[in-house]
Amino acid sequence: MGKGRLEAFSDGVIAVIITIMVLELKVPHGTDLSALVPLVPVFLSYVLSFVYIGIYWNNHHHMLHAVQRVNGLAMWANLHLLFWLSLVPFVTGWVNENHFAALPVALYGVVLLMAGVAYYILERVLIAHHGADSPLARAIGVDFKGIASLVIYAAAIALTLVNPWISFGLYVFVAIVWFIPDPRIERGLPQE
Which residues are at the interface with its own copies (CB under 8 A)? 1-2, 5-9, 11-23, 25, 27-29, 31-33, 35-36, 47, 50, 54, 57-58, 61, 65, 69, 72, 75-76, 79, 82-83, 86-87, 89-90, 93-94, 96-98, 101-104, 107, 179-181, 186, 191-192
Find the shortest distance in angstroms from Cβ 101 to its own copies.
4
Find the shortest distance in angstroms from Cβ 125 to its own copies.
14
Nearer to its own copies, 9 or 120 (CB): 9
Find the shortest distance in angstroms from Cβ 27 to its own copies.
4
Our separate counts of H helices and E strands in the chain read 10, 0
Find the shortest distance in angstroms from Cβ 124 to its own copies.
19
CA distance 137 to 69: 14
Q: Is the separation of the CB atoms in 85 and 44 below 8 Å?
A: no
Q: Is the separation of the CB atoms in 9 and 86 below 8 Å?
A: no
Find the shortest distance in angstroms from Cβ 126 to its own copies.
16
Nearer to its own copies, 142 or 190 (CB): 190
Q: Is the separation of the CB atoms in 63 and 185 below 8 Å?
A: yes
Residue type, 67: V
Nearer to its own copies, 54 or 135 (CB): 54
Nearer to its own copies, 5 or 151 (CB): 5
- The conformation of residue 67, written as its DSSP 8-state character, comes to -
Dihedral class, residue 100 (left if φ above 0, else alpha if ψ from -120 to 50, else beta): left
Helix boundaries (H) for 21-71? 33-36, 39-65
